Amino acid sequence: MFTSVLMIEKPLTSVDVDFVTTLHGDDPVSFFVLMQPRGRQDRLLRAIDDVALGEIPEAIREADEPEGTAALPPAEQALEHSLAALRKRGGRAVGQLVEDHPLDKLKAVVEETGADEVIVLTAPHFVEEFFHRDWASRARHKVGVPVLKLFAHNE
């Protein structure tokens, strides 16, 4: 069985699920999903990304995003939704929230599971990507397995 560690920051859409579950054709895939609650990322960088994407109303609402312990319940629901969607498509899926140091946790999970690859599925983060400070760029130097970067879809 092929093992993929999937890093996400929001619930998977049906398009995302279809995409990641068909990457390896008919081969069975096991997913270990790591999700960082949205409030943990830098609010200013998120607002800049929203402006760059022309999503001005989203940039204005960044201050309303829950942070700290308030961000955990929505993130837990998003993770459970994503795991259920992956399982419904026939994949094995387990996961957990990542509260601190997502790349350290990613490396540990890759080693513990013997993962074959890492898939980073996020919205575009222009500032971080420009400076190669996004999850995928940093993970490529840390985890020792191939890292695939995909952009999440909206429904």
Contact 106, 145 (CB under 8 A): no
pTM confidence score: 0.79
Contact 3, 143 (CB under 8 A): no
* Amino acid letter, 125: H
Q: Between helices 14-21 and 72-88, what is the axis angle to 10°?
A: 50
Residues 6+ apart with CB under 8 A from 149: 120, 122, 134, 136
Q: Going from the first residue of the chain to its last (155 residues), give the mean pLDDT of each consecutive group of 10, the final group possibly shorter.
A: 91 93 91 81 57 61 65 89 95 91 90 94 64 66 85 68
Q: What is the predicted pLDDT for the residue at 130? A: 53
Helix (H, G, I), strand (E, B) or coil at 37: coil
User: Using one digit for the tens of pLDDT, what is the confidence trace for 25-68?
Assistant: 888 999 999 998 765 456 555 655 555 566 666 655 655 666 66
